[in-house]
Amino acid sequence: MATIIVGMADWKVAKGSDILTTLGLGSCVGVTFWDKAKGIGGMGHFMLPSSEGYTNQNRAKFADTCIQDLLVAITRAGAVRANLVAKIAGGAHMFSGAGAGNVLKVGERNAAVAKEILAELKIPLLANDTGGTHGRTIELNIGDGKLKIRTVGFGEKFV
């Protein structure tokens, strides 16, 4: 069993009994895919909701391209798209202050876009731990599909 770190603006795919983890989800969102039948999972950690208007950027930085690229990678690794289920966490409101309108509600927008994309892709969203004002760290156990969520000030839970 190996623990594989997924960095910010990154995604990874793993098999068997490996664990995928990402640290420091504030306004960022961690999205996971899991295929129980094939024992394959994937995790992405994106920072912004849309790649529109950006060129020559890391595609994993944006919800739209990160989720699409992760889907391609996990199916290339042998997962069956019809078997996939998703879980997401993060999307906290980490910035406040006067005039903190939509520009600073990045976390809320990240979570909303992730849900929209998963619905469009017809991938069931089994767990959603988003929002609030606290950071999270997540671990996806590829062996059983459980997502451990450690939340600053709130402990940990499994979904």
Secondary structure of the chain as H, E, C letters: CCEEECCCCEEEEEECCCEEEEEEECCCEEEEEEECCCCEEEEEEECECCCCCCCCCCHHHEHHHHHHHHHHHHHHCCCCHHHCEEEEEECCCCCCCCCCCHHHCHHHHHHHHHHHHHHHHCCCEEEEEECCCCCEEEEEECCCCCEEEEECCCEEEEC
Which residues are known catalytic residues? Answer: 28
